Amino acid sequence: MRHNLSVADTATSFPRAAVLLAAAFCVTSAPAPAYATDATSPAPAPAPASATTANPRTTLQTLLAEQEARAGDPDYDYLLGVAALEAGELQLALDALERVVLHRPQYAGAWLDLAIVHARLQDAASARAILEHVEQTFDPPPALRQQIAQARRLLMPDPVQAATQGWHGDLALLAGTTSNANAGLAVGGFNLTPLDQPPVPVSVDPDQRPRRDEQLQLRGSAYRDFAHDNGSTTSLLGYLRGRQYASEQDFTFYEVAGGVSHAQPITPTLAATAGGSVRYLSLGGSSLATFYSASLGLRRQWQACNAQGSAEYEYRDYSQQGYFSADIVWAGGGVDCRSGAHSVSLAARIGRDQPRADAGMARAGGDTTRLESSLLWRWQISQRWTSDLLVYYVHNRDGSGYSPLLASDATRRVERLGQRLTIGRTLDAAGRWRAVVELENGRDYSNLPIFRLEERQVSVGIRYLF
């Protein structure tokens, strides 16, 4: 029984782990884990069948069959974590290796294997923290420190290197069905309220009720970062999205946008941001509107989270229906955090929508207060399976009565609540091609019946990442 980790032990147990750790950030295939010595007990025995001599999944299944009898044994948990990592079952590897370092914190290799898992789960902050712990706790020799420093640089790449990586993005094509292709009303009738007269019931024409249709959805995005000598970064972004309906072609919708943003560091964790964008929208094959926006903000990094606040001006120009044109001033913020296989993004903004004086005619309802918020939860279920859950809420309230013929000129309120679940499965070893299944449900609530809508969509497709 040894009571401390000697320099000789460190030199023989760490280098392979450090090299593999660095490789984890450079390749997409699962690296072979590191075996380590322990300060309080002999090193664990090799796995019954290492990934170098047998199918990793066969090894994993063999170990899982022994789980009931050996659960809680750190040596067993280490072998289980190694096998799970080699088989690409990252969440299982994470759980097993966390148990090992909890019960035997002197398993140096287990710490490094744990860093590999966090890196492959895209949790760079946790991987960096583990590297620092290894350096501070085990006092590795200079050669190993150099290897760990290399791994750390791979977790936090140099801005100049990042700028040479070219364009990145994705392209997706999905086919499916929607319950409301024509934005039909959710109610069968409502009352008109003429001045000084009793209410007049009105039945909604069947053509104005929801109509089901098949649709194709196209989505694409691309971005590129350019680093500058003063430490700032300029980013370009473009995206395309659209819906093509089989029958309801008058409601076919496309949107194209492009933007630029610039981040200027103030401190190592704080940066000032500025940006601008242009969005073009078409409906039924005709031009609908063009939106122009500019923003200023601050962004701060705190451990595994990034937070941002901004002020934005937006001009919405409706070329064919000028009374919809408006100026909007927004204030908003957001935060996104990553932990293990999970990431969460929360964003919200509030704005004042003022119709332009040159619109030619007064807009019903006058000024509108807008609130938009969203919550996105992403989960790397396994090496191949992912899920995204988006929940969004929008609230709009006019500043004056909408129409004397509707609810006695009541002030319009519209609330939209929606949920979208996307399940993806990687189809190739590089992780570029993914099969996608998407379910979405949305509903508009309003005190004025003619603004109540609901829609459900089911789509399947393919997505390519580059």
| 183/63 same-domain check | no
In a domain, 1, yes or no: no
| 151/184 same-domain check | no
- Looking at 156, 190, 223, which one is the last position of a domain? 156
| 293/425 same-domain check | yes
Q: What is the pLDDT of residues 143-197, one digit of tens each?
A: 677 777 767 666 654 444 444 458 899 999 999 999 999 999 999 888 888 877 8
Count: domains in the chain: 2
- The CATH number for 334's domain is 2.40.160.40
| 109/221 same-domain check | no
- The CATH number for 128's domain is 1.25.40.10
| 290/339 same-domain check | yes
pTM of the model: 0.67
Section 310-315 average pLDDT: 98
Q: Which domain holds residue 73?
A: 7-156
- CA 292/CA 280 separation, integer angstroms: 9
| 134/174 same-domain check | no
Instruction: Give the pLDDT band (50/70/90) at residue 123.
Output: confident
Q: What is the pLDDT of residues 321-346, one digit of tens each?
A: 888 899 999 999 999 998 878 999 99
In a domain, 2, yes or no: no
| 224/308 same-domain check | yes
- CA 340/CA 118 separation, integer angstroms: 6
The token pair that represents 321 in the structure block:
């229906």
Q: Check whether 236 has a pLDDT greater than 50.
A: yes
In a domain, 377, yes or no: yes
| 103/183 same-domain check | no
| 239/262 same-domain check | yes
Question: Is the Cβ–Cβ distance between 235 and 225 less than 8 Å?
Answer: yes
- CA 170/CA 223 separation, integer angstroms: 10
- Looking at 132, 156, 180, which one is the last position of a domain? 156
